[in-house]
Structure 1
Amino acid sequence: MIQGPVTGGAHGWAFNRPLIDLAAKGFVEEEFFLTGDANLYTPVPGAELGRDGKWAVQPKGKVAFKTRFLVYRPADPATFNGTVVVCWNNVTAGYELFFGEGPEVLEDGYAYVCATVQKVGVHGFEDNPQGLAAWDAERYGTLSIPTDDASYDIFSQVARAVGPGRDTSVDPMGGLAVKQVIGLGASQSAGRLSTYINAVHPLPAEQGGHAFDGYMLQIYFGSGTAIEGSDPPVRVAPGNARPLPRGQNLIRDDLDVPAMIVNTELEAKACLKVRQPDTERFRTWEAAGLTHVSYQAQLTRNEKFQRDFGTTPAAPSEQMNRIYLQPFYDAALHHMNRWVSGGAPPPSQPLIEFTEDGQVIRDAHGVAKGGARLPQAAAPVAMNSATPVTDDFAGRLRGSNKPFDAAKLDALYGDEAGYLSSFRKAADSAVAAGVLMPRDVEPAVAEAAQEYRRAREVTAREPAAAG
């Protein structure tokens, strides 16, 4: 059962909604509640959930749930491109993280659905509850997800609530003619989506399968999650005690829909032992010089945190990686949309180069060799990498940025005009390779000018840190 649009509450807005005015972009933003019974799954007797990803499971019962999903959709049906992206909201932080307001979505007319499918998203961690029910009991107090084992089928049910065959008695899509639905998960949600693809997608529709027309796994560490007993610990291990995941399984190679992995240098290293070749149904992109969380993304997260929780978080480190991931994601989504619509697959990209013992091979500037190359990596003013500045868990996700000093900048580019000329050529090459959209070139050039000046300023102040 779908209820909505949902309004009101103590705050008066949906948790983690965009910072921008979507109406000014020609979009409708609405929130809905979804109530039902979710399938739980267990391995088929004798089945092994092994490295090949061909996981055979079956329903073993149901649990009742009530959740929410947030919808961004074009207000004018004529601008809708027919594709709905359903995002598996990330709950690693103890509250939900998602971002569906990028240029590709807003300018190319997608509908974007942010789905709450995990227990922590609703109830938070016990020792510091920041989930929806604690954040706004007036708005979200009736929500309930008893176990993450239900998350897989809840994800299917959200997809069907917004898909082409949906019940329109309460229509979250506002009558839009939906043609295809893409499932998307990033970071921890990509791990859960991996399990969903391998185990749940092949099932009959009545058991929760075949709800999506394609899948995108972003910043994916190469490991699925358990199909049962999948609830995370009450609280993740603090500091250095929390390891980064390492690749354990492939994405099954007999899928009947497209799947794509979109990674940075950090996850490429994790996935090294489970890399698989591109096929008619599968693609892997790895971006040189990028890492899991960039400075720009952290700024947006902090601003949302300030608004939603009323507390100012620590400012992002000036030493963290400064190549923004969103343009890379947007290019991948553009190609994925064409792919699921029956067009050509995304262009294959070179993979990041590693030594035999799994270390990233770097060029003369310290940037990873190989991989898809955004202009910030191809015409650098700094060594951006996944190499951390600090060894805590957050530090290992944020990588580093080491600006070049004035002498090196002068030797490479002469002056700022020379640098921007090189950067534009690198941006044009990225567009030709398909890893950067033409719309993102001018914003990238403007940011590049700022980064060039920053490199000169930072290294002038702190010459010892510029090596």
Structure 2
Amino acid sequence: MIQGPITGGQHGWAFNRPLIDLAAKGFVEAEYFLEGQATTYGPVAGAELGRDGKWTVEPKGKVPFKTRFLVYRPADPAKFNGTVVVCWNNVTAGYELFFGEGPEVLEEGYAYVCATVQAVGVHGFEANPQGLAAWDAERYGSLSIPTDDASYDIFSQVARAVGPGRNGAVDPMGGLAVKKVIGLGASQSAGRLSTYINAVHPLAPEQGGHAFDGYMLQIYFGGGTAIEGSDPPVRVSPGAPGAARPLARAQNLIREDLDVPAMIVNTELEAIACLKVRQPDTERFRTWEAAALTHVSYQAQLTRNEKYQRDFGVAPAAPSEDMNRIYLQPFYDAALHHMNRWVNGGAAPPSQPLIDFDADGKVVRDRHGIATGGVRLPQADAPVAMNSSAPVSDDFSGRLRGSNRPFDAATLDALYGDEAGYLARFRQAAGAAVAAGVMMPRDVEPAVAEAALEYRRAQALSAREPATTAG
């Protein structure tokens, strides 16, 4: 059963909604509740959930649930491109993280659905709960997800609630003619989506399978999650013993017999994790790995912090100026653009070179410390700093944020002569990225403007405290 649009509550807005006014962009923003019974799954007797990803599961039981999903969709049906992206909201932080308001979605007319499918999203961690029910009991107090074992089927049910076959009394899509549905997960959600792809997608529709027309796994560490007993351990508080938990490591492939397209969109950091489960591109599978980028960029952290301050009323610590400063969104947007064409019967995303590794499994780097190979965004091929996955600090967050080390003035002068020379080289590199299909033409001018600021920042830091480039 679908209820909505949902309004009111203590705060008067949906948790983690965009900072921008979607109506001004020609979009409707609406939240809905979804209630029912969710199927849980277990391995078929004798089946092994092994490295090849060809996992055989079957329905095990059902549990009641009530959850929410947030919809962004074009107000004008003529501007809808026919594709809905359903995002598996990330709950690593103890509250939900998602971002569906990028230029590709807003300018190309997608609908974007942010789906709460895990228990932590609703109930939070036991210590200092920040889930939906604690954040706004008036709005979300009736929500309940008893176990993450139900998350896989809840994800299917959200997809069907917004897909082309929907037939409920409440239509979250406002009558839009939906043609295709893409499932998306990032970071921890990409791990769960990996399990969904390998185990749930192949099932018959009446068992929860075949709800999506394609999948995108962003910043994916190469390992799925359990199909049963999948609830995460209690998260320790920051700074407590054990808080510096390890990053995930590769465990399984994406099944090679998948009947819809799937794409992994990774940065340098996840490429390191995924090295042992790399698999070749096929007519239904692609991997992109971007050199010099890492899991969380400075720009993304600024947006997260602004949302956190609005929603929780507390200003988080400012992001380190030393963290990686190459924004991931243009990379994601180029991938989504190709994925949309792919699921609609067009050409697959262009295959891209992978990041170079040496015989010991370490990233090969140039004289400036920048990874060689891989997708080359202009910040990697026309750098003013060493951006990398190498962390500034060894805590969990630090290992996700990588590092940025600006070149000194002498290096900048030797490479580019002056700012005009640098921006000319940057435009050339951006043109190459557009030609390779890894950057959209609309993203070039914003990137050039940011590049000018990064050049001036490097010059200013060099004048204040000269640095030595990596090499």
Please, what TM-score do these two structures have when normalized by structure 2? 0.98
1:55 aligns to what?
55
Kept in 1, the 8 Å contact 2:190–2:220? The answer is: yes
- Kindly provide the CA deviation profile for residues 304-332 of structure 1, in whole angstroms up to 9, marking residues without a partner as x: 00000000000000000000000000000
Kept in 2, the 8 Å contact 1:236–1:242? The answer is: no
1:298 equivalenced with 2:301 (yes/no): yes
* Pairwise CA distance, 1:241: 3.4
2:465 aligns to what?
462
- Kindly provide the CA deviation profile for residues 158-186 of structure 1, in whole angstroms up to 9, marking residues without a partner as x: 00000000014100000000000000000
Correspondence for 1:334 among 324, 334, 337: 337
Q: What secondary structure, in the 3-state scheme, does the structure 1 residue paired with 2:62 have? A: strand
Runs of 4+ that moved beyond 3 A = 236-241, 464-467
1:121 equivalenced with 2:145 (yes/no): no
For residue 181 of structure 1, what is the amino acid of its counterpart? V
For residue 180 of structure 1, what is the amino acid of its counterpart? K
For residues 14-413 of structure 1, what are the structure 2 equivalents within 5 Å? 14-236=14-236, 241-413=244-416
Give aligned pairs, total: 467
Distance in 1 (CA, whole Å) between partners of 2:467 and 2:301 is: 26
For residue 389 of structure 1, what is the amino acid of its counterpart? V
Distance in 2 (CA, whole Å) between partners of 1:465 and 1:171 is: 58
2:3 aligns to what?
3
Q: What secondary structure, in the 3-state scheme, does the structure 2 residue paired with 1:293 have? A: coil
For residue 117 of structure 2, what is the amino acid of its counterpart? V
Kept in 2, the 8 Å contact 1:375–1:426? The answer is: yes
* Pairwise CA distance, 1:466: 5.6
* Pairwise CA distance, 1:464: 4.4
1:424 equivalenced with 2:416 (yes/no): no
User: What's the RMSD between the two structures over aligned residues?
Assistant: 0.9
Kept in 1, the 8 Å contact 2:407–2:467? The answer is: no
For residue 261 of structure 2, what is the amino acid of its counterpart? P
Kept in 1, the 8 Å contact 2:408–2:468? The answer is: no
Kept in 1, the 8 Å contact 2:115–2:155? The answer is: yes
Kept in 2, the 8 Å contact 1:305–1:311? The answer is: yes
* Pairwise CA distance, 1:51: 0.1
Kept in 2, the 8 Å contact 1:38–1:150? The answer is: yes
Distance in 1 (CA, whole Å) between partners of 2:147 and 2:285 is: 31
Kept in 2, the 8 Å contact 1:459–1:465? The answer is: no
Gapped regions of structure 1 (runs ≥ 5): none
Distance in 2 (CA, whole Å) between partners of 1:374 and 1:427 is: 7
- Kindly provide the CA deviation profile for residues 359-399 of structure 1, in whole angstroms up to 9, marking residues without a partner as x: 10001221100000000001000000000000000000000
Distance in 2 (CA, whole Å) between partners of 1:266 and 1:52 is: 23
* Pairwise CA distance, 1:236: 4.5
Per mean C-alpha deviation after superposition, the further-off stretch among 246-255 and 166-175 is 166-175
Distance in 1 (CA, whole Å) between partners of 2:114 and 2:360 is: 39
Distance in 2 (CA, whole Å) between partners of 1:317 and 1:134 is: 29
Kept in 1, the 8 Å contact 2:331–2:438? The answer is: yes
- Kindly provide the CA deviation profile for residues 64-119 of structure 1, in whole angstroms up to 9, marking residues without a partner as x: 00000000000000000000000000000000000000000000000000000000
Distance in 2 (CA, whole Å) between partners of 1:343 and 1:241 is: 44
For residue 381 of structure 1, what is the amino acid of its counterpart? V
For residue 426 of structure 2, what is the amino acid of its counterpart? F
Kept in 1, the 8 Å contact 2:407–2:468? The answer is: no
For residue 401 of structure 1, what is the amino acid of its counterpart? N
For residue 381 of structure 2, what is the amino acid of its counterpart? A
Gapped regions of structure 2 (runs ≥ 5): none
- Kindly provide the CA deviation profile for residues 206-254 of structure 1, in whole angstroms up to 9, marking residues without a partner as x: 0000000000000000000000000001114856630001100000000
Distance in 2 (CA, whole Å) between partners of 1:334 and 1:40 is: 33
Kept in 2, the 8 Å contact 1:459–1:466? The answer is: no
* Pairwise CA distance, 1:461: 1.4
Q: What secondary structure, in the 3-state scheme, does the structure 2 residue paired with 1:303 have? A: helix
Distance in 1 (CA, whole Å) between partners of 2:157 and 2:465 is: 54
Please, what TM-score do these two structures have when normalized by structure 1? 0.99
Kept in 1, the 8 Å contact 2:386–2:469? The answer is: no
For residue 394 of structure 1, what is the amino acid of its counterpart? S
For residues 430-445 of structure 1, what are the structure 2 equivalents within 5 Å? 430-445=433-448
